[in-house]
Chains A and B, each alone.
Chain A
Amino acid sequence: MSGGRTMGAVGGSLSRVDGPLKVSGTARFTAEVRLEGLLYAAVVCSTIARGRIARIDSTTAERVPGIIAVMTHENCPRMKAPLAFLRDPNGAAMSALPVMQDNSVRWNGQPVAVVVAETQEIADQAASLVRINYEVEQSALAFEALLPQAQMPKNILGQPSLVKIGDAEAALKDAAIRVDAVYRTPRHYHNAIELHASTAQWDGDDSFVVYDSSQVLAVERTTLATMFGLKQDKVRVLAPFVGGGFGGKTLWNHTILCIAAAKLVKRPVRLVLSREDVFRVTGGRTLSEQRVALGAKADGTLAALIHTGTTAVVSHNSFPEQFTFPARHLYAAKTMLLQQKIVELDMVANTAMRAPGESIGSFALESALDELAVAGGIDPVELRRRIEPAKDPEKGTEFSSRNLVEAYRRGAERFGWADRRPLPRSRRDGEWLIGQGVATAMYPYYRRPGAALIRLTGGPGRGA
């Protein structure tokens, strides 16, 4: 910390205040909350991607001693559809689909039954005994095959899906140095070590508390209250400790179903997803197919910057994965074509994950820039220095501050860039090939209205 003096905790170096609790195993996570009369739930997930449940046979399951209930669309408490993240300002759910309110199946992995029992072993065994017949409908599953039908979404996080400055394709054709490549990124899953879990307890019919492994407590409370037709102050969402989220712990069906099941059986219910079911019931980052085409003059300055591509989403969410965002702000180019399209698949809803958009977009953009540096025989750091924009490339606005060039300079110095051998495969250490590269990472800073309440207590000599 340069120039600071410490004032109590500010400016100093602190160990995590929850450290002793975590290293001693006494920090209580969601599936560790103890409640009187607690029951255990297990989900049954669909094995078809699209269609209808024709018949659910739970007779064998219900005969297992210790079974309390099997909840399906036939007896699930009525609920309004979830408020979806980004579609609704108070939305915490990654999908707007109603949850277990009818016999429709919209993805392979959709929970179609919840078994509630005295123990987890009984619930898991009974879940495996539920027999379901489906009417299978045609489903959209093959991303590649559907690419020709991709459409631009209305917007990307409120920004335009298409940015056109000049005629980039024409400028690309005439450019002295050109790279034009396709970059594909696979689906990614958060896989927080703590399994998604919820524990719900009702108080009468108009109030409940849910312990949930969740990153979005306030909007989750609002969404749940809306779904169950309750006043907001009658719903509590508690998550003192969350074992990793990374974007994957918003509001998913298992939490909603846990609360519904607790309402049905009139006892507290805990629902922990198995590791396999985490992939079925919750989503991850979408895959992408991106094209980055760069056309430059001999000195590397960009005549054309093209970054386009397609991701896979579901019709019941709005998360296109903003991979073209770095290209909007990082580099100066005479012409630009940025465009994002989406393909709608019948799959579990995709969601935010660790640097949504910027991470996979950077991979494509920075790789292409590297290829351009090689094609033009220009040092990659020097290239980025030359294409540093004076103003925001997309909107022409001024930067309030920007120190990227200085960062490149210091980084080059610290990492011994001057000693780098630019020819690939030219440096070996035993059985290892050693290389050195550079890439720019960008992450946005979103500002929203906020508030803080400070309460000062105590008289002279006490408190702050």
Chain B
Amino acid sequence: MNEFRYERAVDAASAKTLFANAQRAKYLGGGTNLVDLMRENIERPDVVVDVTGLTQTIEEREDGGMLIGAATKNTAVAAHRGVRERFPLLARAILSGASGQIRNMATVGGNILQRTRCYYFYDSAARCNKRERGAGCDAIDGFNRIHAILGASPHCAATHPSDMCVALVALGAMVHLEGPQGAREIALTDLHRLPGETPDIETELAPGELITRIELPALPFAARSTYRKVRDRASYAFALVSVAAALDIDEERGMIRDVRLALGGVAPKPWRAFRCEDVLRGAPAKEESFRRAAEAELKGAVGLTYNGFKIELARRVIVSTLAELAAPEEARR
């Protein structure tokens, strides 16, 4: 780890100032990703601006939406009664991620900006276009079991590892930013970029822009939602494939009125399954619809040497998760 100066921000304004006064600053949340990356010499900031003192409140709005401070710890979000009631998929997604200790340390903002766990990204002796544009990618022909089947490019197939973000994009979360040019909002699903030819640029954030809050628009039917995570271990492991889904069913007619669905473990960004949702809206709440929808979303999926299994796995997890949500209340436990 290189030497750096540590600064602690008391609010967004001071955070931006401290950031701007440095050559190569980074915002620091719980440190569960950044400290690790600094230790590996992948991140080398000269100034670290601690933003854990910023807003940690969770505000329930009357219309049913929520505003969550970016410095709120993951555990606090998952444990919050309002989140559990209105957005259970979010609570479940967070609880399925990392370990109890890490959930206690990690902030919402840091979770969003965490970087890939691709082995070659982490190995300074390996070629990685994300660490060094144009260097090459050793994952494409390497051990790529955990890599992307959607959204990858010939230059990078790294996945975004967050569970929380998968639920958030399913919910259409908006990210509130404050930067040198002022405040703005961006949909979370637009915040992360696909690698294309520039895998080194991972987000649409301008230098110095700080995430201050996450906004969850009201979504009444999100009360009927869940998060399914498939992984090699029963706990404390990243997703091979995960699904966040919310379902609004017209029980009388057995038709899907509305749906939200997103995939994790399969793409360089948390993957909102728009194609899947389009097929499902207005379709019968039956397995045949779920299959067609999964098919539509995975049509462009491409497997590498070791991760092709994810395509069929994603298909099955989508279908199974939707079936679970579509089952009558009593059966759903």
Determine whether A and B are in direct contact in the complex, meaning some CB atoms lie less than 8 angstroms apart.
yes
Partner of B125, one of A47, A121, A124, A125: A47
A232 within 8 A of B: no
Question: In the complex, A128 Cα to B3 Cα: how many Å?
Answer: 13
B126's closest neighbor in chain A, by CB?
A: A47
Contact B125 A128, beta carbon cutoff 8 Å: no
Q: In whole Å, how far is A158's beta carbon from the nearest beta carbon of chain B?
A: 37
B13 within 8 A of A: no
Contacts of A121 in B (CB 8 A): 1
Question: In the complex, A99 Cα to B3 Cα: how many Å?
Answer: 32
Q: In whole Å, how far is B220's beta carbon from the nearest beta carbon of chain A?
A: 30
Question: In the complex, A391 Cα to B39 Cα: how many Å?
Answer: 59
A46's closest neighbor in chain B, by CB?
A: B125
Give the B interface residue count (CB, 8 A).
Answer: 6
- Render B58-82 as a binary contact track against A, CB cut-off 8 A, 1 for contact: 0000000000000000000000000
Q: In whole Å, how far is A110's beta carbon from the nearest beta carbon of chain B?
A: 13
Question: In the complex, A125 Cα to B125 Cα: how many Å?
Answer: 16
B305 within 8 A of A: no
Question: In the complex, A124 Cα to B38 Cα: how many Å?
Answer: 12
B203 within 8 A of A: no
Contacts of A128 in B (CB 8 A): 41
Q: Which residues of B in the span 27-57 have a Cβ within 8 Å of any Cβ on A? A: 39, 41
Contacts of B1 in A (CB 8 A): 121, 124-125
A64's closest neighbor in chain B, by CB?
A: B3
Question: In the complex, A47 Cα to B126 Cα: how many Å?
Answer: 9
Question: In the complex, A125 Cα to B39 Cα: how many Å?
Answer: 9
Question: In the complex, A58 Cα to B2 Cα: how many Å?
Answer: 16
- Render B278-317 as a binary contact track against A, CB cut-off 8 A, 1 for contact: 0000000000000000000000000000000000000000
Q: Which residues of B in the span 227-268 have a Cβ within 8 Å of any Cβ on A? A: none
Q: Which residues of A in the span 122-172 have a Cβ within 8 Å of any Cβ on B? A: 124-125, 128
Question: In the complex, A127 Cα to B41 Cα: how many Å?
Answer: 11
Give the A interface residue count (CB, 8 A).
Answer: 5
Q: Which residues of B in the span 117-137 have a Cβ within 8 Å of any Cβ on A? A: 125
Question: In the complex, A125 Cα to B2 Cα: how many Å?
Answer: 6
Q: What's the dominant secondary structure at chain B's contact region?
A: loop
Contacts of A47 in B (CB 8 A): 125
Q: In whole Å, how far is A118's beta carbon from the nearest beta carbon of chain B?
A: 14
Q: In whole Å, how far is A347's beta carbon from the nearest beta carbon of chain B?
A: 15
Contacts of A125 in B (CB 8 A): 1-3
Question: In the complex, A121 Cα to B1 Cα: how many Å?
Answer: 7
Question: In the complex, A47 Cα to B2 Cα: how many Å?
Answer: 21
- Render B1-33 as a binary contact track against A, CB cut-off 8 A, 1 for contact: 111000000000000000000000000000000
B3's closest neighbor in chain A, by CB?
A: A125
Contacts of A124 in B (CB 8 A): 1, 39
Question: In the complex, A128 Cα to B39 Cα: how many Å?
Answer: 10
Contacts of B2 in A (CB 8 A): 125
B41's closest neighbor in chain A, by CB?
A: A128
Question: In the complex, A47 Cα to B138 Cα: how many Å?
Answer: 15
Question: In the complex, A125 Cα to B3 Cα: how many Å?
Answer: 9
A45's closest neighbor in chain B, by CB?
A: B125
Question: In the complex, A272 Cα to B164 Cα: how many Å?
Answer: 35
Q: In whole Å, how far is B3's beta carbon from the nearest beta carbon of chain A?
A: 7
A274's closest neighbor in chain B, by CB?
A: B39
Question: In the complex, A390 Cα to B2 Cα: how many Å?
Answer: 68
Q: In whole Å, how far is B278's beta carbon from the nearest beta carbon of chain A?
A: 30
A431's closest neighbor in chain B, by CB?
A: B320
- Render A47-67 as a binary contact track against B, CB cut-off 8 A, 1 for contact: 100000000000000000000
Question: In the complex, A121 Cα to B2 Cα: how many Å?
Answer: 9
Question: In the complex, A121 Cα to B41 Cα: how many Å?
Answer: 12
B39's closest neighbor in chain A, by CB?
A: A124
Question: In the complex, A125 Cα to B1 Cα: how many Å?
Answer: 5
Q: In whole Å, how far is A464's beta carbon from the nearest beta carbon of chain B?
A: 48
Contacts of B39 in A (CB 8 A): 124
- Render A103-132 as a binary contact track against B, CB cut-off 8 A, 1 for contact: 000000000000000000100110010000
Q: Which residues of A in the span 209-253 have a Cβ within 8 Å of any Cβ on B? A: none
Question: In the complex, A124 Cα to B41 Cα: how many Å?
Answer: 10
Contacts of B3 in A (CB 8 A): 125
Question: In the complex, A246 Cα to B2 Cα: how many Å?
Answer: 35
A122's closest neighbor in chain B, by CB?
A: B3
Question: In the complex, A172 Cα to B1 Cα: how many Å?
Answer: 61
A108's closest neighbor in chain B, by CB?
A: B125
Question: In the complex, A410 Cα to B39 Cα: how many Å?
Answer: 54
Q: In whole Å, how far is B155's beta carbon from the nearest beta carbon of chain A?
A: 23
Contacts of B41 in A (CB 8 A): 128
Q: Which residues of A in the span 32-51 have a Cβ within 8 Å of any Cβ on B? A: 47
Contacts of B125 in A (CB 8 A): 47
Q: In whole Å, how far is B191's beta carbon from the nearest beta carbon of chain A?
A: 31
Question: In the complex, A128 Cα to B43 Cα: how many Å?
Answer: 13
Q: In whole Å, how far is B139's beta carbon from the nearest beta carbon of chain A?
A: 17
B320's closest neighbor in chain A, by CB?
A: A431
Q: In whole Å, how far is B255's beta carbon from the nearest beta carbon of chain A?
A: 27
Question: In the complex, A458 Cα to B3 Cα: how many Å?
Answer: 61
Q: In whole Å, how far is A177's beta carbon from the nearest beta carbon of chain B?
A: 34
Q: In whole Å, how far is B230's beta carbon from the nearest beta carbon of chain A?
A: 12
B122's closest neighbor in chain A, by CB?
A: A276
Q: In whole Å, how far is A49's beta carbon from the nearest beta carbon of chain B?
A: 11
Q: In whole Å, how far is A101's beta carbon from the nearest beta carbon of chain B?
A: 24
Q: In whole Å, how far is A391's beta carbon from the nearest beta carbon of chain B?
A: 45
Q: In whole Å, how far is A399's beta carbon from the nearest beta carbon of chain B?
A: 41
Question: In the complex, A124 Cα to B2 Cα: how many Å?
Answer: 9
Chain A to chain B: the 8 pairs with minimum beta-carbon distance, closest first: A47-B125, A128-B41, A125-B1, A125-B2, A121-B1, A124-B1, A125-B3, A124-B39
8 intermolecular pairs with C-beta atoms under 8 Å apart: A47-B125, A121-B1, A124-B1, A124-B39, A125-B1, A125-B2, A125-B3, A128-B41
Q: Give residues in B with beta carbon < 8 Å to A.
A: 1-3, 39, 41, 125
Q: Give residues in A with beta carbon < 8 Å to B.
A: 47, 121, 124-125, 128
Given contacts A121-B1, A125-B2, A128-B41, 5 further A-B pairs with CB under 8 A are A47-B125, A124-B1, A124-B39, A125-B1, A125-B3
